[in-house]
Structure formats: C-alpha cells, structure tokens
Structure 1
Amino acid sequence: MSIIDSKGRLFGKLSLLDLAAAAVIMLVVIGIFFFPGTPITNNLVAQTKQQSIEVTALVRGLGVADLDGLFEEFKAEKQAEIVIRNQPAGKVDILKSQRLPRTTVAPQPDGTVKALPDPRPEIVMIQDLLLTLGGKAEITDTGVVLDGSKKIKIGSLIQLQGKYYDFNASVIEIKIS
C-alpha cells in the first residue's frame, strides 16, 4: 500500500487538497486570534527618529465659569490627553496658555470702526484661549505624525482631555524643533 494513491488521497482516506484547505483555514484562525489588527510595520515606528514639536491651538467659545481655575489646572497637571479624529494620540505637554480678549466692533461717528471689549454680561463665561502644546512626533513627507499614525496639520481639530476638562481646539501653528 502506497502513501498516496492514484486519486491523490493519503492512505486511501484523506484528500491532499482537503488537508491543504484545512491547513490554510487553521492558519487564518490562528492569525486572527493571536495577531488581531497589528500590522507588521508597527514595530518599525519605534525605530524612527522623533523630534520635538510645538503646536499652537486656538480654543474658541469655551464656556468656563472659573478661567483662573482652569489655568491653575493647566499648571498643576502640565499634561493633557490629545485626541485626533476620535482616536487617542497620547499625551502632550501644556507649555503656555493665554486668554484672548473678546471684542466687538463699535462704529465711530467719523465712519471708522473700533474693536472694543465686549460689554455684554452673558459673554463673561465664554472665553477664547491660545494654548501652546509640546510633544514628540515623527516628521514624514506627508506631515507631522503623533503616536505612530495620527497626522496633525494646521486646521486639524483636536480634543484635549484632563482631569477636570474636555474641550476642542483648532491647530493654527506647528513648529518643529
């Protein structure tokens, strides 16, 4: 009795094609359960050179009752979680925070206009901020990449999260150190 007969069966019982198909299915199942969603290139990210960057972000219309308390929170925590396109992108340092004045246009008798502080009482709790954030990023041909896969560009909307705050900002400047 030969190992493979004339019909391609192993010991006259199992087809070689059936065994090959079962092996492929088994490898796919092992690949799904042991390596879910991890591309091979993820290991290469750790070997790329990261550079320091400074990102300036503009926060418009933030409703906050105690702005000084928020600034104290920035000084105490010094770091914030950053979310780009609803995907966590690690932590960034809060280097500087600055309040921007809220102004309104006031026409003058001679026909010119002046920007004056907004006198409306309801505007007291609506603030505009300028935040300078620092961190490490990979510089590629297509832009600045945080956390291996999150691109950040001027105009990108980011979300900053801390212990007591969670708000959106828009990137207005990126400096590469």
Structure 2
Amino acid sequence: MAILDRQGRLFGKVSILDLGAILAIVIALFGLFLVPGKGGDTIAQIGAAEIKPVEVEIMVRGLTVRYPDELVQTGEKTQIIIRNNPRGEVEITAAAALIPKVPVPMPDGTVEALEDPRLSEIYVRDFAITLAGNAQVTSDGVIFSGEKVKIGTQVQIESPKYVMRGSVMDIRYEE
C-alpha cells in the first residue's frame, strides 16, 4: 500500500488538502489566543482582566450654552461614545461649568489667571465632567466595552438634552 494514492489521500483515507486546512486553523487559533499582539495583551489576558469601578474625567471645551448650570446634573445617566462607537451607560458624578481664564499682568510685574470677562457674557463655557462606570483594568490601561481609554482619548457623551465631545484628562481606579 502506498503512502499517497492517486486522489491525494494519505493511506487511502485522509486527504492532504483536509490536513492542510486543519493545520492552518490550528495555527490561526494558536496565534490568536497565545501570541501577544501589538498592544502586548493576548485575548486570553484581556478576557481575564478585572472589572473595577472606574472614574473618567473629561474636559469639554468651548460649548455654547444658555444655561450652563442646568445642563449637566450629577447623578444622571448618560451614554458614552468612544471613537464613534456607543460603549454603554455611565453616571455623571461631578460636573462643573468653567469660564476660561486668561493671563493678566499685574502692576507689580506678576501674572494672574483671571476669568475671561468677554466669554462670561456670551454663553461660552468649558465643562469638567467626571463619569463613573465599570471597566476592565489591564496592565495596558482601562477598557470600556472593548475600547481602550487613555488620557487624551476623544469621548462623546449623549443624553436627550445634549451631545458633548471632550477628551479624557484623568482616569482613576483602585489598584
């Protein structure tokens, strides 16, 4: 009996093409689950990451709003959108409407940062908003619903009253 027959079967039972396909699938699964990717974490490590309460502080700049103190309320739920993908619901734990500051030289030669009087009259505000939710914490950072969040990440929050786009300026969680 020959090792290969005329139809390309090993010992007359198994096709070489079938063995090649099975080998390709095994190699792909090995690479997917066990070899680290560009981020350094494998899928197995990300799946095993701890889910912890996380606070993300964002800065929204230059929002034009008539009643800034009534727009964002602490305790309300809002949708979080990261890189144009909805990533669930978070709670607003702190919100502050800020008037941008400008450097002003003083007569004694020092410089002080004072609220810009021009912007306090024309309804332009910056907002510092703290969002709280549960996220995976890995050695590479925080992952909200499969999307990494780091300082500088663009985040959008949305409710029936507003849509705001800002960037992350702080991330806090217990280690």
Do they fold alike, i.e. is TM over 0.5?
A: yes
Cα deviation for residue 7 of structure 1 reads: 7.2
- Residue identity matched to 2:135: A
* Identity among equivalent pairs (%): 33
Cα deviation for residue 100 of structure 1 reads: 2.3
The answer for the alignment partner of 1:60 in structure 2 is 61
Out of 152, 156, 160, the position equivalent to 1:159 is 156
Cα deviation for residue 47 of structure 1 reads: 7.0
Give the distance between the partners of 1:123 and 1:95, measured in 2 at CA.
28
The answer for the alignment partner of 1:79 in structure 2 is 77
Q: How does 1:8-157 map to 2 (within 5 A)?
A: 49-71=50-72, 74-75=73-74, 78-120=76-118, 124-147=122-145, 149-157=146-154
For structure 2, the residue ranges without an aligned partner over 5 or more in a row are 8-14, 22-31, 34-41
Paired residues, number? 143
Give the distance between the partners of 1:58 and 1:83, measured in 2 at CA.
15
Q: Which has the larger radius of gyration?
A: 1
Give the distance between the partners of 1:145 and 1:98, measured in 2 at CA.
25
- CA gap of 1:144–1:121, structure 2 versus 1, over 3 A, is closer
Cα deviation for residue 88 of structure 1 reads: 1.3
Q: SS state of the match for residue 111, structure 1?
A: coil
Give the distance between the partners of 1:64 and 1:176, measured in 2 at CA.
31
**Partners of 2:99 and 2:119 within 8 A in 1:** no
Give the distance between the partners of 1:153 and 1:68, measured in 2 at CA.
28
- CA gap of 1:50–1:122, structure 2 versus 1, over 3 A, is closer
The answer for the alignment partner of 1:173 in structure 2 is 170
Cα deviation for residue 165 of structure 1 reads: 0.5
